[in-house]
A and B are shown apart, each in its own frame.
Chain A
Amino acid sequence: MIDLLYAELKRTWIQFIRYPTEVISGIVIIMAVFYGLFASAQYMAGPGFAFGDRLDAVVLGYALWTLIISVNNDIAINLQIEAETGTLEQVFLSPFGAPRVFLARAFASLALRLVILMVVLLLLMGISGSRLAFPPTLLLPLASLLLAGYGLAFLMGAAALVFKRVQQILGIFQFLLLFLLAAPLEEATGPMQYLRFLLPMLPSTGLLRDLMARGLSLDWFTYTLALLNGLVYFALGMLVFRWAEATAKQRGSLSGY
C-alpha cells in the first residue's frame, strides 16, 4: 500500500511538472475570478465600505471552495479522462481493487492540491489585504473537511462510472458548493443551526473559519460532530462507488461503451 501511494505520488508529480501549464492556468483563473468579485463588490459598495472580519471569512471560504472543487472533481474527471484514453481498464485490472487504487490517487493529488491551496491563499491575502491565522489545530477540521470532500468525490466518481458524461452535474455542483461554503452558516439561527451538521463539509468549514478568521479556539464538541459528518460522507461515497463499479461491470461500460 505504501508502494502504491508512492507510485501515485510520483505519477501525479511527473504529470504535473511535465505539463504544468494546465495547473498554473487553473490558478490564474481562480485568482482572476476572485479579483473580479472582490473589485466589483468594493465598487458597488462604494469606497467607504469595509469588509472587516467578513473579508477574512470570505477569502477563506473562496480558497476552501477552490480546494473542495478540485478534490470533488478529482476522481470523476480522472475517471472520465482515463476512460477516454483507455488506461481505465488497466487500472481496474489491479489486484488492489479499484477503491484502494483511487484512494491512493486521492491522497497523492491531495498532497499536490494542498501545496496549490497554500499558494492561492497567500496570493489572495496579498490581493485583498486579508490576514488569516494558521494555528496547528486547523489540521483537525481540515481533515474532517477532506474526509467529507472525498466522500463527495467518490460519489461523483460513481456518477462518472455509471453515467459517463458528468460535466454538467459537476458544473452545477460547483455553484451549490460555492453557496454552501462561502455562506457562513455557522452564524445562522433557527433550524439551519442544526441542519448544517447534516450537510456535507459545512461543520468543518465553519470550524475552519472560527480558527483562521475569527481567532477562536477549537470547540471539541462541534469538532466531534464535524468528524462524524466527514466519516459518514466518506463511508457513503465508498459504498456508492463500489456499487457503481459493480454496475459498470454488469453493463460492460467501464471503458465508456
Chain B
Amino acid sequence: MQLARCPTDDWTNHSSPGSIVLDTRDLSKVYGRGKQRFEAVKQVCLTLHPGEVLAFLGPNGAGKTTTIKMIAGLVRPTQGRVAVMGEDPHRQPRALRHIGAVLEGNRNLYWRLTPAENLDYFGVLRQVPRQLAHRRGLELLARFGLEEKRNTPVQKLSRGMQQKVAIAVALIHNPRLLLLDEPTLGLDVEAGEMVKALVRQIAQEGRAILLTTHQLDVAEELADRVAIIRRGRIIAEQSTESLLKEFSGSTYHLEVDGELSPQQIHTVTQLGATVQGTQLTYAGTPEKLYALLGALSPVPLVSVQRDRADLTQVFLKLVKD
C-alpha cells in the first residue's frame, strides 16, 4: 500500500464538497503482469468544479485515455479512487448518471440509426424516461443545428456532424461531468470551431468538462486549467493563465513610429533597453518601463508587447525535461 499523495486542495477548503464534480485520488493503473507489466498511470489526482474546463495534455501513450476510462468506470484502477458527485462509478453504477463521455475515435454512435434514433436509444440506456429522452433529444438537435439531418443515418453525415451528434448523445441524460477524448481530432477548421463553441456553451451551463487534445491551441482557448501528464505522471497542473504567465518572459518589445534623437537613444540605453532602428527591446522591471516610455515621448508609439509564451512552448519545455 502506498500513502495518498494528493495535495489537499486549497479549493476544497473554501468551497463545500457538494461543489466538486470530479475528484480522483492517487489513480493508478498497471497493465499486464510479469514482463508485460506496465505502469500506464501513476497517482493521478484531479479535481473538477462545475463549469470548469480542464485540458488534459500529454504525448502519445502518456496515459490520458486510460485515466479518462478509469473515471468513466470502463477500466478498473489498480489503485486509488474516483468520485463523481461523490459516487464511485466502479462501485455504484448509479454514478454513471452523472457522466457523459465521447471516447476516442469517431464511433460512439450506431451508424445505422439516425441522430434522432440514437438520442432516443441512448437516452433510455442512460435511464432517462422515454418521453423525456425524446423531448430532450429534439432540443439538443435544435441547439446543435442538426434538425435538418435528424432523419439521416449517422453513417451518411460528415465527420463534424457525427461528432456533434456524439456530443449531443453524451448530454442526453443531463450529466454533470462531460469527458471528451480528443473531440477535435480529424475535424476540419470549421467543424473544429463549431465543437469548440459547443464545449464553451456546455461549460457555461455549469457542467464540468475534462478534455484531452493534442491541439494545444484548442486547449489554450478552452481550458480554465491544464494538467500535463507524462509517462503516467502529472507533471504540471494549474490554471492556464498562471501556467502561461510562469513561462512567459519579462521581456518587452516596443515599436515607435519615427527616428529617435541621439539624446533619447542615450537615455533609453541607460535604462537598459537596446535600440535597433524603430524597434526596442527591454528586459527590466515593469516600473522602469514607464520611465522608458517617458523618455520616448513625443515620438508616437506603434506597439508595446510583452513576450508571451503559448501553450505549445510551455508544453514542449515541460515534456522535454
A residues apposed to B, CB below 8 Å = 3-4, 6-7, 10-11, 14-15, 18-19, 85-87, 89-97, 101, 246, 249-252, 254-255
Contact = CB atoms under 8 A, between A and B. Distances in A.
B19 interface: no
B93 A90 contact: no
Interface residues of B, number: 38
Contacts of A249: 73-76
B96 interface: yes
Nearest to A6: B130
Nearest to B127: A95
B223 interface: no
Contact of B112 (A3, A19, A95, A255): A19
Contacts of B24: none
Interface string B82-121: 0000000000011111010101011111111100010011
Contacts, number: 95
B109 A87 contact: yes
A85 B113 contact: no
Given A93-B99, A96-B127, A254-B74, A7 B120 contact: yes
A252 B69 contact: yes
Query: Chain A binding site: helix, strand, loop or mixed by DSSP?
Result: helix
A22 to B, nearest CB: 11
Contacts of A7: 120-121, 124-125, 130
Interface in B197-218: none
Interface of B: 29, 31, 66, 69, 72-76, 93-97, 99, 101, 103, 105-113, 117, 120-122, 124-127, 129-130, 153, 169
A7 B129 CA distance: 11
18 contacts: A6-B130, A7-B124, A10-B117, A10-B121, A15-B113, A19-B112, A86-B103, A86-B105, A87-B110, A89-B74, A89-B103, A90-B169, A93-B126, A94-B96, A97-B93, A249-B76, A254-B75, A255-B74
Contacts of B108: 86-87, 89-90
A11 B121 CA distance: 7
Nearest to B102: A90
A18 B101 CA distance: 28
A256 to B, nearest CB: 11
Contacts of A85: 107, 111
A93 B111 CA distance: 18
B42 to A, nearest CB: 15
A95 B93 contact: yes
Contacts of B110: 11, 15, 87
A90 B113 contact: no
Nearest to B95: A95
A77 to B, nearest CB: 15
B238 to A, nearest CB: 29
Given A86-B108, A252-B31, A252-B66, A14 B117 contact: yes
Nearest to A86: B107
Contacts of A101: 125
Contacts of A6: 124, 130
B121 to A, nearest CB: 5
B76 A96 contact: no
Contacts of A251: 31
A7 B120 CA distance: 8
